[in-house]
Each structure stands twice: as structure tokens, then as C-alpha cells.
Structure 1
Amino acid sequence: MELTRDLLDAVCDIAVEAGQLTLPIYYSDFDVETKDDDSPLTQADLAAHRHIQAALTRLTPDTPQLSEEGAETPYAERRGWAEHWLVDPLDGTREFVNKNDQFTINIALIRDHVPVLGVVYAPVLDTLWFGAGALGAFCQTGDDAPRRIAVSTRADTPRVLVSRSHRGSEVDAVLARMPDYEPVTMGSSLKFCVIAEGRADFYPRLGPTSEWDTGAGDAVLRAAGGAITDLHGHALAYNDGDSILNPHFIAFGDTEHDWRAYLSD
């Protein structure tokens, strides 16, 4: 399918609609289930999943979907996909459960292993981040007009993102190698978005993530001029094997700065 602003706007609408479905649940006393991997699941995850699945099917009926809350699709089938929608209907379920407002709705279009379009919506903040390659990257809050965003090239005192829910000794070691930095605590895919906006510079993620955790934010960050790479400097590849787990990675704005230098002594 052609990457147009109309397509991007349509996906934004779907993300906002799904996000609005989560808010009545967020502000209620909701039940929390535990999935097989011990991660939490709420009624909001399922409500957003169902809406996004139906809406994307109406929008692009011939394009397959891979969602965290959908049925598992074996790689024998996925390997034939030239493009597909990659969805995390509620990223940051722990943030949702803890009611710190930092959860998002993530929708990405993957084409030939590359995230070419991404939409991230934070329902409580009523803020969208969206982008698609040459169309650029944008941020929109409420009914305000979308504004074009771009990464920062400031790297003298990097603003380093630290996950609210996942950190660990390996990330602490990276921080210890940095001569100076400003820590920024953030949850969910908001970390990619604030780098895309130029409000942060570097995010080392040295723990497990899945493709739906990164696809939408990766697309927005690429459209804003930044990058996500594995620890060898290669861009993340999507739907490139049986596993949907990502390698450890770093996300950053200034692509001229040697961020990998902080990964080892």
C-alpha cells in the first residue's frame, strides 16, 4: 500500500479510538490477569485489541496483523508477508496497573522487515506521535494542530532514558561509563517518542522486548531522524525469523554520536 498522509491519519484515528476505550477502565477498579510470561493483562488490553483489529481489517482488509493480544501466527505463515500491521494494543500495562499515566497504544506498518509507519498514542496525555519515512514525524496533543518534530543533536550532557519497569545492572554499567548525563525516567513507548521530539537523547535497553514493543516507536524515531540499533550497530529487523523477540538495543537521536562507545570499557 502507498504511504500517504491519509493512511497515516486513518491509523491515528484508530489509535485514538482504541485509547479512548481504555480510559473508563483505567479510572475504575479493574481486574488484572497474569499471562503465561507473568506479564499483566487487563480488560483494557483486550478492548483496545478488538477495536484495532476490526478497524485495521476495514481499512486494509488484505494486510495481515500481528498483535500482542492476537492469535499466534507461526513463522511458516509470517515469512510470506511482504507487509503487515504490528500492534501492541496497550504498551506499558504495568504503567496502566500502577496508574502513572504512561501507557500507550502502538500501531506500526512493517514492510520488508522495516517499520515504515508508526503511531503511538498516550490516552491519558491525549497526545499522538506519528510518522512515516519521508512524510516526517509529528506530535499532536488534543485538538491542537500537529507539529513536525525532529531529534536533537545535543550530546554534551545527554538526557538518558531509564525505564520505569525494567532497568538492571547492565544499564547501570552503561550509565557508569558516561562522563556526564541527565537521567530521565519514562515508561512504555514514550521513551522513543521523547527522543523523536528532541526532549531526550539516548535509551539503552539491555533486556527482553518483543517486536510490538518497538515497531511503532521505531518508525516514529526513524522519521524524526533518529535510530534504534542492536549492540552491533545494525537497525532492528522485523519479522525476520521464528522469534518475535528483539535483540538488546540502543535508541538515540544524534546519529553522528558514538553511543555504542558506552556499551563496553
Structure 2
Amino acid sequence: MKPDLAFLSALEDACHEAGEKILAVRKRGFKAERKSDASPVTEADRAAEAVILEHLAKIAPGVPVIAEEAFTAGHAPKTDDTFFLVDPLDGTKEFIAGRDEFTVNIGLIVKGVPTAGVVLAPATGRMFAADSGKAWRMEAGNRHVLIGRECNPSSMIAVASRSHRDWQTDSLLKALKVQDTVGVGSSLKFTILAEGGADLYPRYGRIMEWDTAAGDAILRAAGGQIMDLLGQPIRYGKAAIEDPFAHAGFIAFASEKAAHAYLSHMNLV
């Protein structure tokens, strides 16, 4: 499977249709529910996922798909070297709260690495995509290449979760003498890094692979990187573990300089 522009365009179409379903649900109103892990879910999550699964079955028949709602319901196909990770509505808490910081996400994983991805913010129409070589922001039908920010270690900017900010994050940002912090929900944190709006995004605690795959693909293609809390590159497809398809935290960086500042602080270089 080659993640070329035709392939990306097909993924983008899937995200657009899923986004339309989400906005339709928001317009007519909905009730939030709780899943078995106590996280919120809505009709919009399920409707968007159904659309994406239908598209992927046509785009890449036979390729396994790990999708959030299906996985939570106990449906997890066996994965091999190539599979999709889908988060049909990342930022459900933001969606429920009436904010626009929610996204549709499709990531393609090949041998543990995100090689293509699409992130759409339906409420604003902003879309980002990447293959293994370039990342783009789409505007008015045109693709604008993204190149990450060149870090100044003495005046770094961080992006942090609106819903999952914790003392560990605050402690790290203080230790690195971060000058400013942008709070935002969903996978938009990755796109801010890819666009050059910030230098790093720390996330402590458990997070699922479908939450990061598409944004990670975009960040890597824009020149950034993402690693675990011990400074090792994160991998995808961790099915054969006690907590499958989960990360135990990570730090994302817009540049090698930003990553080096973190590694130096942690005495990992």
C-alpha cells in the first residue's frame, strides 16, 4: 500500500463525511453517555466511526482497522505489519462542552510507525494530512507544506491538554523554563507543533494509540518527533501486552533541538 496523494485524498474524503455526521449530531442535539472505562461517548462518535469504517473497507480492503468505539465494545481484529488506527471523534469532552476543539483522525501504521495520517477539525474546517515524506495543511483546496518550528531552548513554547493537565506536566514545563503554554484539546496539539506554533507537548499517563497515530504521522512528516518518557521512540501495534494499543505517556517535539533540551534535562544524553 503506497500512501500517495490519491490515497490521502481518499482518507480526507472519509474524514470530511465523518465530520459532517458529527456536525449534524451537534446541530440537532445529543446526550452524552459513559463507556465501561468511564470516558464519555456520544451518538456522534459512533456515527463518525461507521462512516470511516465503510470508507476504509473500500480504500484498503482487507487491511485491519483498530477503531476506538469498536475496540471498546470488544471488537479488535488481529493486526499485522500494516493497519489503521481510527479515532472518529477525538476531544469528546470538548465536543460535549460546546467547544470546537474536536477532531476526526485516521492513521496508517506500517511496521510500528505512523506513515500517513489525516486530522480534520470539523467545526473549523481545518484539515491536516501527511504521508511518509511531507505534511500539509489544506486551505481552500490547496496544500501548504508544514515545516516545524526551529527551537530556541531559552524561550520554548509548550502545548498542553485542556482536559489532562497535571502536576507532572507543570513540573516539567517549569524545569525546562518554558516561556508560554497553549491549552487546547484533542489531536490539534500535534498540528500546532507541526505548524510551528509550539516546541513540545508533554503527556503523562495512559493514552491510546488511536489518540496519537494521525497527529504523530503529521508531526513526524513536518520534521518533529515523539518519544516515550524515557527518551525512546514510541511504537504502534502493541497488541500483545496487558493493556493493548496503549501508550504510557509520551513527549512530542517540533524539532531535534527541543527533544535534546528534554533529554538533557532528564540526563538521557
Alignment of 1:25-174 (within 5 A): 25-71=25-71, 72-73=74-75, 77-78=78-79, 81-134=80-133, 136-141=134-139, 143-155=140-152, 156-174=154-172
Distance 2:250 2:169 in 1: 11
Distance 1:166 1:199 in 2: 20
Distance 2:220 2:145 in 1: 13
Which of 62-71 and 216-225 deviates more? 62-71
Alignment partner of 2:190: what SS?
Answer: helix
Distance 1:180 1:125 in 2: 29
Gaps of 5+ in 2: none
User: Which residue type is aligned with residue 254 of structure 1?
Assistant: S
TM-superposed deviation, 1:83: 0.4
Distance 1:67 1:180 in 2: 35
Cα deviation 1:34-88 (Å, max 9, x = unaligned): 001111100100000000001100111111110001143568x33xx12011100
2:227: which partner in 1?
229
TM-superposed deviation, 1:249: 0.6
Distance 1:29 1:131 in 2: 33
2:181: which partner in 1?
183
TM-superposed deviation, 1:231: 1.5
Distance 1:255 1:131 in 2: 19
Structure 1 residue ranges, 4+ long, deviating more than 6 angstroms after superposition? none
TM-superposed deviation, 1:254: 1.3
TM-superposed deviation, 1:263: 5.0
1:251: which partner in 2?
252
Is 1:260 the counterpart of 2:233 in the alignment? no
Contact kept, 8 Å, 2:129 with 2:137, in 1: the verdict is yes
TM-superposed deviation, 1:117: 0.5
Cα deviation 1:185-226 (Å, max 9, x = unaligned): 111000001100111111110122000000000000000000
User: Which residue type is aligned with residue 18 of structure 1?
Assistant: A
Match of 1:206 among 204, 211, 234: 204
Distance 1:48 1:201 in 2: 31
Identity percentage of aligned residues: 37
Shift in alpha-carbon separation, 1:161–1:144, aligned structure 2, 3 A: same
Distance 2:174 2:38 in 1: 31
Distance 1:248 1:195 in 2: 17
Measured on the aligned residues, the alpha-carbon RMSD in Å equals 1.7
Gaps of 5+ in 1: none
TM-superposed deviation, 1:144: 4.0
Alignment partner of 1:89: what SS?
Answer: strand
